[in-house]
Amino acid sequence: MAKIESISDFPQNDLYRGFFAQNPFVKECIKKGQLSQTYWQGKYSNNSCSFIDMGKPGRKEKVCDYLKSLFEIENDIFDNKYKMAVAGDGWEYRRISTLHSSSLVALLCFYSLSKEHALKMNIDGQEIEFYESLFEQKNSIGKEGHNSNMDVVLIGFNKQGESVILFLESKFSEYLSHGKYDKISDVYDEVYYQLTADQQPIDGLEIVRGKDMWSISAAPHRPQQYCQGIKQMISHYQGVQKGFIDSAEDKYDHIYLGEILFKFPEEVDAKHNSYNSYVGLYKQLAQKLNSINTCKKFKVIETSFSYQDVLKDFDLDTNVREFYAL
């Protein structure tokens, strides 16, 4: 089976059953034959659905136009933003076609920013208007050929006319998964040694240096956690420090690093309370990173953003707002 012909064909997990299966936009897509099982590594998956059947030839070149048609996007700027969003390791065009893609939610929600269509956000008690968005922006982590890829970068000004750049890591459903993250390269030695100089920086986690690599895991007798998210934020911190601040600090008055999460209804996340758990871990990490940061212009935002809060008053495309129930 490839095409999804009814809700009964949906993956049997909390995300698809508890969120997507209840969604009017998704139900209409099924009626029109617009959903299929995700094609990945040569076979169709029972755990994921896509808006386009990537198992058929010639689909790579059609993804952008298909998404524009599906979500009824008429703004021509989308094409350029889509090219940014899939300009990574070569597989982004496949990932971005899945219903649960964190790249897709970021692209659909932030692509349209302009001076005429600015997004207002409150950061550190200041209202900031962001008028430009970039996707999959690379920051060197200090070793040739090694980069931190930021999902979203927003550029704007505060009310004092000071320039602001915000690096955002986007999470859709990733934080619902838990487990240890190991084999973290020694290229991150400096920041990990700083983080762990006094004690374990995050209550509930263990950050440990092995023979030649680092690992992040839940502390003994503590619930499993989304350790990969913590690792990614540490990598982005190093990328902003070494790949951006060292070369472009003078271009902006304020430099921020943060994270934006999609918050699911209780029936999706009730079992593990993963959202609140990860938000708590992230806050501890951000506080610790700020304590070792020496750049006065740079700050890690200590409170996670949610798509629901950030976009509640923003003019999204109608089908985008309906699909994500925003």
User: What's the pLDDT tens digit per position in 162-211?
Assistant: 999 999 999 999 999 999 999 899 999 999 999 999 888 899 999 999 88
Q: Are residues 196 and 261 in the same domain?
A: yes
Q: Are residues 296 and 319 in the same domain?
A: no
pTM for this one?
0.95
Q: Are residues 197 and 259 in the same domain?
A: yes
Question: What would the pLDDT profile of 226-272 be if each residue is shown by its tens digit?
Answer: 999 999 999 999 999 999 998 887 899 999 999 999 999 988 987 88
Residue 1 inside a domain? The answer is no
pLDDT at 281: 96
Predicted confidence pLDDT, tens digits, the chain (326 residues): 588 998 888 988 899 999 999 899 999 999 999 999 998 888 998 899 999 988 888 788 899 999 999 999 999 999 999 999 998 766 788 899 999 999 999 999 999 999 999 999 999 999 999 999 999 999 998 877 788 999 999 999 999 999 999 999 999 999 999 999 998 999 999 999 999 998 888 999 999 998 889 999 999 888 889 999 999 999 999 999 999 998 887 899 999 999 999 999 988 987 889 999 999 999 999 999 999 999 999 999 999 999 999 999 999 999 999 999 99
Residue 108 inside a domain? The answer is no
pLDDT at 247: 81
Contacts (Cβ under 8 Å, ≥6 apart) of 82: 63, 64, 67, 107, 111
Q: How far apart are CA 324 and CA 140, in angstroms?
A: 33
Per-residue exposure over 182-197, b if at least 16 CB sit within 10 Å of its own CB, e if not: eebeeebeebbeebbe
pLDDT at 146: 80
Q: Are residues 45 and 28 in the same domain?
A: yes
Q: Which of 278, 279, 294 shows the shortest CA–CA distance to 237?
A: 294
pLDDT at 246: 82
Q: Are residues 47 and 72 in the same domain?
A: yes
Q: How many domains does the chain have?
A: 2
- Structural domain for 60, as ranges: 7-101+315-323
Beta carbons within 10 angstroms of residue 42's beta carbon: 6
